[in-house]
């Protein structure tokens, strides 16, 4: 009688130990919280020009894109040249963020230089996104 | 005797961690979805104070008159020539380079000109839009 009771008790209290699972999940959670940057992508795919002196750019930056058809995009919407300073101000609330311009290699260069000039007034640095040349 | 039997049961009471795990999983999924690994590479043409470049010798300038050509003081040059020109012109101290772009020039070419000028050791590259 006593033997049977013990085996029943053991079976009832036996459950999967979830502590390692919680540990792993917490580590993953902390990793993703730390690495999250929340960049708003421009929402248009561009073919970047090649460059040899390309360096890794700052991750937490305001992104603009100039498409092949000379349209400026920011956060998934088409914007005009005059809106750029206001958008940079809105994106960098308390501390200034650098600006990265993703320009299509067939876009108009004078439009790019106008965008760079506009962005430079409000941003500490303006960079042009490129791809590695082969 | 019955009372004594009951007391160990109350000691076994544990905190229920299932809601904690649920919440942590929801947070984890949110951060996995929200994280965007934007790894952008590019060129950052440093901007020098314009006052200093004016007091110095006039900056080296290249023109992009459209139709895929690069000129310097009116004469046609090749993309590969830019870095040597900048290197010889700087001779010791690095110089700032001005890239004048006219309507019709492609951004890819302008970027490559800036890239080559930086490769040649230019300290600052400035893009200037020109009216036709």
Closest by Cα among B109, B99, B104 to A108: B104
For chains A and B, CB pairs below 8 A equal 160
**Nearest residue, CB atoms, A120 vs list B39, B47, B105:** B47
pLDDT score at A67: 93
| Beta carbons of A72 and A115 less than 8 angstroms apart | yes
* Total number of domains in chain B: 1
CB contact under 8 A, B35 and A37: yes
Distance (Å) from the alpha carbon of B13 to chain A's nearest alpha carbon:
11
B4 falls within a domain: no
Architecture (CATH level 2) of domain A50-132: 2-Layer Sandwich (3.30)
* CATH code of the domain in which B84 resides: 3.30.420
Range of the domain at B71: 50-129
**Nearest residue, CB atoms, A130 vs list B28, B43, B106:** B43
- B114's tokens: 């800036």
pLDDT score at A73: 93
CB contact under 8 A, A116 and B39: no
Render pLDDT for B75-125 as a digit per residue (tens, 0 to 9).
888 888 888 888 888 776 767 888 888 888 889 999 999 999 888 888 888
**Nearest residue, CB atoms, A32 vs list B28, B115, B130:** B28
User: Rounded to whole angstroms, how far apart are CA atoms A41 and A58?
Assistant: 14
B15 falls within a domain: no
| Cα R_g (chain A), whole angstroms | 26
Predicted ipTM of the assembly:
0.73
Closest by Cα among A18, A16, A78, A113 to B107: A113
CB contact under 8 A, B107 and A63: no
Render pLDDT for B46-77 as a digit per residue (tens, 0 to 9).
765 444 444 455 678 888 888 888 998 888 88
Q: Quick one: pLDDT band at residue A27, thresholds 50, 70, 90?
A: very high
Helical segments of chain A, H only? 2-13, 19-35, 84-91, 109-120
Q: What is the pairing mode between strands A99-103 and A62-66?
A: parallel
B77 falls within a domain: yes
Interface test with B, best of A109, A112, A113, A128 (most B CBs within 10 A): A109
3-state secondary structure of A85: helix
CB contact under 8 A, A18 and B17: yes
B68 falls within a domain: yes
Domain boundaries defined on chain A: 2-35, 50-132
pLDDT score at B53: 45
């Amino acid at each position: 009688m006593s033997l049977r009771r013990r085996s029943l008790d053991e079976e009832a209290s036996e459950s999967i130990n979830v502590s390692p699972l919680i540990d792993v999940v917490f580590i993953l959670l902390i990793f993703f919280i730390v690495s999250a940057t929340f960049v708003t992508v421009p929402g248009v795919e561009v073919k970047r020009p090649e460059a040899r002196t390309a360096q890794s750019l700052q991750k937490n930056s305001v992104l603009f894109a100039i498409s092949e058809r000379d349209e400026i995009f920011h956060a998934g919407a088409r914007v005009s040249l005059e809106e750029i300073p206001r958008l940079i101000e809105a994106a960098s609330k308390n501390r200034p963020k650098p600006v990265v311009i993703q320009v299509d290699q067939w876009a108009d260069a004078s439009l790019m230089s106008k965008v760079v000039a506009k962005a430079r007034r409000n941003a500490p640095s303006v960079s042009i996104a490129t791809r590695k040349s082969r | 005797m019955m009372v004594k039997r009951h007391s160990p049961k109350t000691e076994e009471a544990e905190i229920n961690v299932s809601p904690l795990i649920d919440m942590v999983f929801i947070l984890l999924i949110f951060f996995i979805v929200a994280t965007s690994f934007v790894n952008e590479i590019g060129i950052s043409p440093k901007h020098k104070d314009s006052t200093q470049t004016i007091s110095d010798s006039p900056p080296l300038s290249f023109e992009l008159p459209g139709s895929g050509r690069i000129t310097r003081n009116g004469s046609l040059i090749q993309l590969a020539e830019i870095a040597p020109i900048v290197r010889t012109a700087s001779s010791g101290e690095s110089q700032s380079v001005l890239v004048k772009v006219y309507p019709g020039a492609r951004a890819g070419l302008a970027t490559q000109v800036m890239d080559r000028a930086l490769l040649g050791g230019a300290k600052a590259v400035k893009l200037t839009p020109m009216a036709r």
